[in-house]
A and B are shown apart, each in its own frame.
Chain A
Amino acid sequence: MYAFEYHRPTSVKEAASLAGQAEDMKFLAGGHTLLPTMKLRLAGPANLIDLGQIAELRGIERAGDALTIGAMMKHGEVANSAEVKQAVPALAEMAELIGDPHVRNRGTIGGSIANNDPSADYPAACLALNATIVTNQRKIAADDFFQGIFTTALEEGEIITHVSFPIPSQAAYAKFRNPASRYALVGVFVAKHADGVRVAVTGAGSNGVFRVQEMEQALSANFTPDALNGIVVAEDEMNSDIHADAAYRAHLVGVMARRAVEAATRA
């Protein structure tokens, strides 16, 4: 690790102003992505702004048809939250599938989304649930937020404060784990909303999380596993590595989509 200045603001406002003054800075949430890269000397921000003491970034709240989760809520907190389990059980189940207990007790929803790792789980949930990412500056629709691997709509110094999820009538997440890292090799989140079904895929795409329009149309017409028969995703848009080549990933998208619909309709 290279040396850095450590800041610990207690409000979003203070964090934003520190970010405005400090050169070469990074926000620190759970640190489960940022700290390993710093330890490996792959990242070396001069300033680290720890969001851990900011109360406004915490909390889970249901208001009307939406569930709102604070950016600093840990995966374990989301997985075990009675509100989440009641409002969007699929989201709690998804959070329970992230990493291992250590990771779930440190990693945060805000950090996961800001990082937009192409194999992270939350991006699929956000996209399928049609979430709104709330920052200290604006509200961003999930469809506009995720812009390719490790790339988001966030501006320099912009802080995610909350994520707001419309509550679907049915939803489920099916994850095929990378055997080594336990991130998603392929994860498919399906959610049925009043205005139609959304299907989001993480882990598989060469450009990060994506929606599958063909599946969405078929499932909007008929929300059953069989509606997916014959639908295949294009191999040439899939990621390929030693764990899974594009053909296998494309195949798994189909299998996991079917399993997700099965789970959503069973529940």
Chain B
Amino acid sequence: MTATGIGAPVRRKEDQRFVTGQGRYVDDFNRPGQAYAYFLRSPHAHATIRSIDTGPAAIMPGVIAIFTGDDLAADKIGGLICGWMIHSKDGSPMKAGPHPALAQGKVRYVGDHVAVVIAETLAQAKDAAEAIVVDYDMLPAIADTAQATKASVQVHEVSPDNTVFNWHLGNKDETEAAFARAKHVTTIDLVNNRLVPNALEPRAAVGEYDPGTDNYTLYTTSQNPHVARLVLSAFIGVAPEHKLRVIAPDVGGGFGSKIFIYAEETVCVWAAKKVKRPVKWTSDRSEAFLSDAHGRDHVTHAEMATDENGKIIGLRVHTIANLGAYLSTFSSSVPTYLYAPLLSGQYDIPAIYCEVDGVYTNTAPVDAYRGAGRPEATFVVERLVEKAARELGQDPAEFRRKNYITQFPHATPVIMTYDTGDYAASLDKALELADYKNFQQRKQDSALRGKLRGIGFSSYIEACGIAPSQAVGSLGAGVGLWESAEVRVNPTGSVEVLTGSHSHGQGHETTFAQLVSDRLGIPIDQVSIVHGDTDKVQFGMGTYGSRSGAVGMSAIAKAIDKVIAKGKKVAAHVLEASEGDIEFKDGRFGVAGTDRSLAFGEVALQAYIAHKFSGQDLEPGLKEGAFYDPTNFTFPAGVHICEVEIDPDTGVTKIERWTAVDDFGVIINPMIVEGQVHGGIAQGVGQALLEGAVYDQSGQLITASFNDYCMPRAIDLPSFQVGMTVTPCPSNPLGIKGCGEAGAIAAPPAVINAITDALGHEDIAMPATPQAVWRAAQKANMPMAAE
């Protein structure tokens, strides 16, 4: 390992600009003549729009234009799309209601887009928006996930009972049979709470139109600018693909919420041409709460069957997934193919059957949020496993061990084939780091102080490195999920890597450069990573699903191999040797068995000056591209152990210890990976203890600001014990599995398992706030009813 190669804890190159305030985010881009957009949003969860009178607003100071859904329709601008087709059990396609960028006739959630005002200043746009008169005919609303299909409210005409799909996966008959012969059945009812993503940087967009060239430019907070361009051009139709440039510059966090193509950027590009001015929109935090796609929101009933030996023989799950008022870009895939295929967890479960009912409600759209489906699956499996162990009187660690998959590859009953792993190794290491053997002593010490101590496990698995294109295509995806890379070597030997991945906090400028440095033997500061601009990078699928290492870097590795192959040809000419005799090692091209060699930079120069070979023999230049399509998902897995102490007087849960042992395959930069683990755990703890989006019965968002929506803070978290085990991923050239979501997937059940252990009963929902825990502790103390 070199100081900057694979495996080195290199400090992040990009942090210099971020921590000195030199980052360039969308809102930092101001274009000449720029005007400001402000969206008038629905204050009602559900209403028919009788009329919109923009007359008085239009003549207010600074107003350039006001547009409504009718204007978009007149220009034949299409609606927003959902790019993953899910079919119901009966074979019928999911019921996708229309999703106009600006409402047409109806609003379906608080925050829905009613009109846009474009003005010289933002304040003028807001003033005018207040003067728009909208005549609403209020309709009853439904916000409750479990009640959605029973309500008399109808969110979309296409779906009279608010069902989007009734989907299933697995083998029903085999699962029924397993339950029929079970010795014991463990049952659980769970709510996976709805979350607001809350990236540090709110969403923003600047649309620009050049009438001279007929070119459009969109600066946008996107995790996948090429996908945004494709959707905006091919589906929504705001501009032809080759005429639209999408730039996603520095982006301050996404967690999934910036994958999607939203109304605001659509309107900014379109309106820029209408008003012949660049148009900027920057979300404020209040808008973000209302209109960023939310995450999770499942209601689940699940059962686990075990045999007389304590082996799990069957799993049966029924989930209602709230998709909100409209189907967001990838929403339909999250509670289906990103969820049910993970229900086998790390366990050898012969029969699994899962049914998912996707439902519409009068709430913000719900889509992928860090982990996307996999945290929901892990919560179901790990809560059930913990509860089953308790009911069977077994140690939760040993119950898990007994049921672990140990032979690979392993095909689960829910379409996944796990390639490799060593789950017991992670468990052993975690038990040791967590000092499990002395837990009972610590529990007694806590009891002496009047406190309740509990320990909780989470043996999670996820499928990432998303994803083999053919496989996802067969499951309904509208796109392939390969990645592209181009490695441009300059005559001076420095290298630019153009990648279709997009960094919004992950540190690609460092880790990708480490790969190049490692493979080409050049210093890391000779490498720059270019991303986030469709005019520079030819195409790419973007960053989500922990895919940038496993898929994005694999594409870079492939392109580097081609560069080396071409370099050998150049070196052969220069060194007057045969190509087959050229070896590339430690950054030098040499003739095998001799001391004749050329540095990488010398070969690069020779490739460009092209004096030593003829154009007929070899093309000048040194630049190669590659597309990498994975052959399987990757399967990071690990064991997290959470230890809590509860103050029964107040219900406050304090996390005393956290142990995380993860197997991410080969690690490029352990410091960055640890950072990802820390952040993931923080988000998972946030979900378990603090966060929860609450709508009232009328569909108003109660938790619409940080005053009421509780984000995790440093003080809520202990110092983490992070350990690693490594089984390299066999399906990609780098052996990488991915680490971006692990913490958020592992953490919620670890916390809740610890709390329920401390309480001595299972009755606590997320978020386990002090009030909820206090009440649950009261219940635990309740004396048995008198005989």
Chain B residue contacts of A243, Cβ below 8 A: 708, 769, 771
Segment 243-287 of B: residues with Cβ below 8 Å from A: 286
Segment 207-251 of A: residues with Cβ below 8 Å from B: 242-245, 248, 251
Across the interface, do B771 and A248 meet the contact criterion of CB distance under 8 Å? yes
Q: Which of A5-13, A22-30, A66-74, A175-183 lies at the interface with chain B?
A: A175-183
Chain A residue contacts of B130, Cβ below 8 A: 41
Across the interface, do B650 and A180 meet the contact criterion of CB distance under 8 Å? no
Chain A residue contacts of B711, Cβ below 8 A: 180
Please judge, given known A-B contacts A41-B126, A255-B649, A255-B650, whether A180 and B771 are in contact too, CB under 8 Å: no
Across the interface, do B774 and A251 meet the contact criterion of CB distance under 8 Å? yes
Chain B residue contacts of A3, Cβ below 8 A: 123
Bound complex: CA A221 to CA B247 (Å): 72
Bound complex: CA A67 to CA B208 (Å): 61
| Chain A min CB distance to B617 (Å) | 67
Chain B residue contacts of A255, Cβ below 8 A: 649-650
Bound complex: CA A188 to CA B771 (Å): 18
Across the interface, do A242 and B650 meet the contact criterion of CB distance under 8 Å? no
Across the interface, do A179 and B690 meet the contact criterion of CB distance under 8 Å? yes
Bound complex: CA A245 to CA B778 (Å): 15
Bound complex: CA A135 to CA B603 (Å): 82
Let me know if B132 is at the binding interface, CB within 8 A: no
Option from A41, A180, A244, A252 in Cβ contact (under 8 Å) with B706: A180
Segment 677-709 of B: residues with Cβ below 8 Å from A: 690, 694, 702-703, 706-709
Main secondary structure on B side of the interface with A: loop
Let me know if B476 is at the binding interface, CB within 8 A: no
Main secondary structure on A side of the interface with B: loop
Across the interface, do B770 and A179 meet the contact criterion of CB distance under 8 Å? yes
Across the interface, do B708 and A181 meet the contact criterion of CB distance under 8 Å? yes
Across the interface, do A1 and B123 meet the contact criterion of CB distance under 8 Å? yes
| Chain B min CB distance to A103 (Å) | 13
Let me know if A194 is at the binding interface, CB within 8 A: no
Chain A residue contacts of B123, Cβ below 8 A: 1, 3
Segment 87-130 of A: residues with Cβ below 8 Å from B: none
Segment 701-734 of B: residues with Cβ below 8 Å from A: 702-703, 706-711
Let me know if B184 is at the binding interface, CB within 8 A: no
Across the interface, do B702 and A242 meet the contact criterion of CB distance under 8 Å? yes
Across the interface, do B774 and A242 meet the contact criterion of CB distance under 8 Å? no
Let me know if A40 is at the binding interface, CB within 8 A: yes
Instruction: Fill in one digit per residue for A21-62: 1 if any B CB lies within 8 Å of its CB, else 0.
Output: 000000000000000000011000000000000000000000
Option from A40, A41, A176 in Cβ contact (under 8 Å) with B650: A176
Chain A residue contacts of B318, Cβ below 8 A: none
Option from B126, B649, B690, B707 in Cβ contact (under 8 Å) with A181: B707
| Chain B min CB distance to A251 (Å) | 7
Across the interface, do A248 and B706 meet the contact criterion of CB distance under 8 Å? no
Please judge, given known A-B contacts A1-B123, A40-B286, A41-B126, whether A242 and B694 are in contact too, CB under 8 Å: yes
Across the interface, do B703 and A181 meet the contact criterion of CB distance under 8 Å? no
Closest to B767 in A: A179
Across the interface, do A180 and B774 meet the contact criterion of CB distance under 8 Å? no
The total of chain A residues at the interface (CB under 8 A) is 17
Option from A41, A179, A181, A248 in Cβ contact (under 8 Å) with B774: A248
Instruction: Fill in one digit per residue for B750-778: 1 if any A CB lies within 8 Å of its CB, else 0.
Output: 00000000000000000001110011000
Chain A residue contacts of B709, Cβ below 8 A: 180
Chain A residue contacts of B651, Cβ below 8 A: 248
Bound complex: CA A222 to CA B127 (Å): 61
Across the interface, do B706 and A181 meet the contact criterion of CB distance under 8 Å? yes
Instruction: Fill in one digit per residue for A249-261: 1 if any B CB lies within 8 Å of its CB, else 0.
Output: 0011001000000
Bound complex: CA A181 to CA B713 (Å): 12
Bound complex: CA A1 to CA B127 (Å): 9
Chain B residue contacts of A40, Cβ below 8 A: 286
| Chain A min CB distance to B173 (Å) | 44
Bound complex: CA A1 to CA B121 (Å): 12
| Chain A min CB distance to B784 (Å) | 22
Closest to A1 in B: B123
Please judge, given known A-B contacts A40-B286, A242-B702, A255-B649, whether A180 and B708 are in contact too, CB under 8 Å: yes
Chain B residue contacts of A2, Cβ below 8 A: 127
Bound complex: CA A2 to CA B650 (Å): 43
Bound complex: CA A2 to CA B709 (Å): 27
Bound complex: CA A255 to CA B770 (Å): 13
| Chain A min CB distance to B569 (Å) | 61
Chain A residue contacts of B690, Cβ below 8 A: 179-180
Chain A residue contacts of B771, Cβ below 8 A: 243-245, 248
| Chain A min CB distance to B60 (Å) | 13
Chain A residue contacts of B650, Cβ below 8 A: 176, 252, 255
Instruction: Fill in one digit per residue for B587-629: 1 if any A CB lies within 8 Å of its CB, else 0.
Output: 0000000000000000000000000000000000000000000
Option from B127, B649, B707 in Cβ contact (under 8 Å) with A180: B707
| Chain B min CB distance to A177 (Å) | 9
Bound complex: CA A3 to CA B61 (Å): 13
Bound complex: CA A252 to CA B774 (Å): 10
Bound complex: CA A248 to CA B690 (Å): 17
| Chain B min CB distance to A221 (Å) | 24
Chain B residue contacts of A181, Cβ below 8 A: 706-708
Bound complex: CA A22 to CA B711 (Å): 41
Please judge, given known A-B contacts A1-B123, A41-B126, A179-B769, whether A242 and B708 are in contact too, CB under 8 Å: yes
Bound complex: CA A244 to CA B771 (Å): 6
Closest to A249 in B: B771
Instruction: Fill in one digit per residue for A160-200: 1 if any B CB lies within 8 Å of its CB, else 0.
Output: 00000000000000001001110000000000000000000
Chain A residue contacts of B774, Cβ below 8 A: 248, 251
Closest to A258 in B: B649
Chain A residue contacts of B694, Cβ below 8 A: 242
Bound complex: CA A181 to CA B775 (Å): 21
Closest to B706 in A: A180
Chain A residue contacts of B775, Cβ below 8 A: 248
Instruction: Fill in one digit per residue for B615-656: 1 if any A CB lies within 8 Å of its CB, else 0.
Output: 000000000000000000000000000000000011100000
Which of B123, B771, B775 gathers the greatest number of chain A CB atoms within 10 Å?
B771
Segment 532-563 of B: residues with Cβ below 8 Å from A: none
| Chain B min CB distance to A8 (Å) | 22
| Chain B min CB distance to A238 (Å) | 13
| Chain B min CB distance to A249 (Å) | 9
| Chain A min CB distance to B221 (Å) | 22
Chain A residue contacts of B710, Cβ below 8 A: 179-180
Which of A176, A180, A243 gathers the greatest number of chain B CB atoms within 10 Å?
A180
Chain B residue contacts of A251, Cβ below 8 A: 774
| Chain B min CB distance to A2 (Å) | 8
Chain B residue contacts of A179, Cβ below 8 A: 690, 710, 769-770
Bound complex: CA A91 to CA B694 (Å): 36
| Chain A min CB distance to B689 (Å) | 8
Chain B residue contacts of A248, Cβ below 8 A: 651, 771, 774-775
Which of A181, A242, A245 gathers the greatest number of chain B CB atoms within 10 Å?
A242
| Chain B min CB distance to A240 (Å) | 11
Bound complex: CA A248 to CA B778 (Å): 11
Bound complex: CA A93 to CA B707 (Å): 23
Bound complex: CA A41 to CA B707 (Å): 17
Closest to B126 in A: A41
Chain B residue contacts of A245, Cβ below 8 A: 771
Which of A1, A2, A176, A179 gathers the greatest number of chain B CB atoms within 10 Å?
A179
For the complex of A and B, 6 pairs with smallest distance between CB atoms: A180-B710, A181-B707, A179-B710, A248-B771, A255-B649, A244-B771
Interface, chain A (partner B; CB < 8 A): 1-3, 40-41, 176, 179-181, 242-245, 248, 251-252, 255
Write 20 A-B pairs (CB below 8 A) sorted by A numbering: A40-B286, A41-B126, A176-B770, A179-B690, A179-B769, A180-B690, A180-B708, A180-B710, A180-B711, A181-B706, A181-B707, A181-B708, A242-B702, A242-B703, A242-B708, A244-B771, A245-B771, A248-B651, A252-B650, A255-B649
- Given contacts A180-B711, A248-B651, 18 further A-B pairs with CB under 8 A are A2-B127, A40-B286, A41-B126, A176-B650, A176-B770, A179-B690, A179-B710, A180-B690, A180-B708, A181-B706, A181-B707, A242-B694, A242-B708, A243-B769, A244-B771, A248-B774, A255-B649, A255-B650
